[in-house]
Structure 1
């Protein structure tokens, strides 16, 4: 069962042939940071993004061999645990409301997120894993399967009820399209996944109606709306800055220094990379992610049709659906920006990378490392050391500076100070306000 995963320890997620790609992206990010209006903040995003990528590849994918759990149990625990924790938090809010006799107001019981859409981004990565969790055995053998499935069914419908309460269009449409994609790609296994998702969603909607008979209708109508809700305005700003700064962009994270009056990112990952890092870096981002998607789909097809795979087909289908849903949602939202969503992005991508490594031919796994691989390992260690030191020192200095310097009193800082963009984007608009592009004359009503 674990034979495929055991080989991961001998395999490196980033081989020597990928080194030029990472070096080019890093150099573009550093160069763009140096040319930005806030170089230290831009470099923070470059190093932080680098650490996220390396955590997914080395920290999650390669570390699977160091755990004694079988791969299917690891996938189950790393994806179901965040769902259970989110449901537990919401259940506590509901219980507190009943005890205090105060009715829940939207977005409760999920108001512990700075914005309800951050919760939706978190759900985008996790909803597809309800299906394999329901059909797979519980990692603890002493628990009866019927008890586990009953518990999972309650969690699944409650998690979907929270989605209906939030009324997030991006998550719903991304999950629907991802479910259709796995049906076309994986056939019968994909159909089982889609039917379970539909059943959970339908029962979850009934639970939502029962829980919020008078307080949810005004929010669920948002699901059927076709209004872009300011996205066209943000995309217009991003496109204008791409036109003005095509090569290096305005600097990583610097969209958060624009007083758009609406958001600290353009609600589109590709436009964000192009506007902030420049078109060459955006091409590298998109081509690299596209290549990984292509490689994963080929591996996933083989694993789903094989009878001797160590990874259950339901988990492979769920990872595919999660990756597709996350990619779709990133085109209309800040999936790549918000900490909770970044955590799940790294987790799901790392699981996919670990499975892909375990499925690689054994001959390649056992080959002796070449000189280029040794150079890659040294380069990666150096990158991790530099990035970790910079992020740590920057955080310590920024904390000290916040404690000993007066806070900006501008209206935009006070309005945005609790809207996360890695760190607080209100700080950037308080330090320096990049003007709107010349062709953008007004904000949306």
Structure 2
């Protein structure tokens, strides 16, 4: 037991550091470094699972086995799609990435089952530290903008750590719901509540400056959904509403009244992004739809939307269109079924305990809101494509899986399914490691080659330059 605790402590210490580095260390900013961190965490998670495989027999959640056959069918469909794809190498890379994300989720869930609520406190601490660090960076950037001799302030320059402000917004959609957990607990001291609320308001200000419409949509749907789940859900929604309104007021003071007073003009304001246009999504959605009609059963192959160059993006910015066009309609239906089954199970548990103020139930509400918001944003944005968003989606999903079960759900896991799953994870994570080691040192040359062959801006997918087509088509 002591050895197990030491392993979990070491694992989480490394994971916490890795989660912070790519968004707080300037040299590590950007899509490619975040992908590298994601692969490293997948490798560490696999090692932790292998070391703890003996305790996994007694500690696996029931849900892991009950859907094992469906996951096996999903994997068979994926492999068939890869074999028929134009570029099987990248297709297998995408499948390996999905398995790697599941490996991370499984490891988080298993750790939560083995160690208990200390994992909750640790992950919330990582969220708080991450948000505090980014908030401090934002404040320093604002002060630098006001004290410089320039007469303009580019709001894009205030959002550091991500290749695109939309990727920042995806991270905020995942973390905004979690920041409210201390606020709805009954035993938190008032000074702590005040400081957490200040942080939540500042996080909303950054979301407003970013102007990511998917964040607004995701949080609105999450607030409506969770607000209907009892007293605790309404408290969560009211805290978010209060923080959002306070954030709007603070934004107006800092970026309207004060800038007018000192004669600074703003560039790339949030208002310029809050429009009702599709921002060319209709073009990539049409491309995905044409791909679905052309190959409905197995799709063009995982990641193969980026094998058909277009001037806009290497993915459709829509979860189901992406999955159906690349993996096929049967796989999409199966993924949708698994997703709905899991969300329904959590929803029933929340409704059954809606009168409870137990911290675990309140945390379940926050995690559920995080997933609802992110999945909603995924209907119009690349939440399941960007590495840092994928990483936190895996963590939040595994976290929720780990706290969701009750004691009656415990049973010995199917040994054969565990062995097959471990083998698949080993092959997938190993392949991800190979792709990363092979590609990362030469990414600059690859980017230059892309610029020579295609021109235009980079389109992120696995790497920041995500188009996998070898030549213009």
TM-score by length of 1: 0.84
The separation in 1 between residues aligned to 2:175 and 2:382, in whole angstroms, is: 16
Q: Secondary structure at the match of 1:424?
A: coil
Match of 1:161 among 205, 209, 228: 205
Distance 1:136-1:76 versus aligned 2 partners, 3 A rule: farther
Deviation at 1:201, TM superposition (A): 0.5
The separation in 2 between residues aligned to 1:426 and 1:15, in whole angstroms, is: 32
Matched, 1:242 2:256: no
- Do the aligned residues in 1 keep the contact of 2:156 with 2:165 (CA within 8 Å)? yes
Distance 1:15-1:320 versus aligned 2 partners, 3 A rule: closer
Aligned to 1:323: 371
Aligned to 1:261: 311
Distance 1:193-1:341 versus aligned 2 partners, 3 A rule: same
Deviation at 1:66, TM superposition (A): 4.6
Match of 1:282 among 332, 336, 343: 332
Deviation at 1:72, TM superposition (A): 5.0
Residues 24-54 of structure 1 show CA distances to partners (whole Å, capped at 9, x for unaligned) of: 2112222212222221111101001111012
The separation in 2 between residues aligned to 1:199 and 1:400, in whole angstroms, is: 47
Aligned to 1:386: 427
Instruction: State how 1:151-300 maps to structure 2 within 5 Å.
Output: 151-184=195-228, 186-213=229-256, 214=259, 219-222=269-272, 224-300=274-350
Matched, 1:12 2:60: yes
Match of 1:90 among 121, 129, 138: 138
Match of 1:415 among 456, 459, 472: 456
The separation in 1 between residues aligned to 2:384 and 2:376, in whole angstroms, is: 12
- Do the aligned residues in 2 keep the contact of 1:30 with 1:43 (CA within 8 Å)? yes
The separation in 2 between residues aligned to 1:427 and 1:71, in whole angstroms, is: 38
Match of 2:78 among 25, 29, 44: 29
Q: Secondary structure at the match of 2:391?
A: helix
- Do the aligned residues in 1 keep the contact of 2:211 with 2:274 (CA within 8 Å)? no
Match of 1:374 among 409, 412, 415: 415
The separation in 2 between residues aligned to 1:415 and 1:330, in whole angstroms, is: 25
Instruction: State how 1:43-82 maps to structure 2 within 5 Å.
Output: 43-56=92-105, 58-67=106-115, 69-70=117-118, 72-74=120-122, 76-82=124-130
Aligned to 2:155: 106
Give the alignment's Cα RMSD to 1 decimal.
2.7
Deviation at 1:208, TM superposition (A): 1.2
Deviation at 1:217, TM superposition (A): 8.8
Matched, 1:133 2:174: no
The separation in 2 between residues aligned to 1:316 and 1:45, in whole angstroms, is: 30
The separation in 1 between residues aligned to 2:464 and 2:161, in whole angstroms, is: 17
Aligned to 1:117: 166
The separation in 1 between residues aligned to 2:147 and 2:276, in whole angstroms, is: 39
The separation in 2 between residues aligned to 1:129 and 1:410, in whole angstroms, is: 40
Deviation at 1:383, TM superposition (A): 1.1
Matched, 1:145 2:194: no
Q: Secondary structure at the match of 1:104?
A: strand
Deviation at 1:127, TM superposition (A): 1.2
Further displaced range: 286-295 or 71-80: 71-80
The separation in 2 between residues aligned to 1:176 and 1:120, in whole angstroms, is: 14
Matched, 1:336 2:379: no
The separation in 2 between residues aligned to 1:412 and 1:204, in whole angstroms, is: 45
Aligned to 1:345: 393
* Structure 2: tracts of 5 or more residues without a match: 1-54, 260-264
Deviation at 1:356, TM superposition (A): 1.0
Distance 1:93-1:284 versus aligned 2 partners, 3 A rule: same
Q: Secondary structure at the match of 1:250?
A: coil
- Do the aligned residues in 2 keep the contact of 1:249 with 1:276 (CA within 8 Å)? yes
Distance 1:347-1:415 versus aligned 2 partners, 3 A rule: same
Deviation at 1:211, TM superposition (A): 2.1
Deviation at 1:284, TM superposition (A): 1.3
Distance 1:65-1:287 versus aligned 2 partners, 3 A rule: closer
- Do the aligned residues in 2 keep the contact of 1:415 with 1:426 (CA within 8 Å)? no
Deviation at 1:406, TM superposition (A): 9.4
Deviation at 1:225, TM superposition (A): 2.1
- Do the aligned residues in 1 keep the contact of 2:298 with 2:329 (CA within 8 Å)? yes
Deviation at 1:280, TM superposition (A): 1.3
* Structure 1: tracts of 5 or more residues without a match: 1-6, 139-143, 436-445
Deviation at 1:220, TM superposition (A): 3.2
The separation in 1 between residues aligned to 2:219 and 2:56, in whole angstroms, is: 30
TM-score by length of 2: 0.79
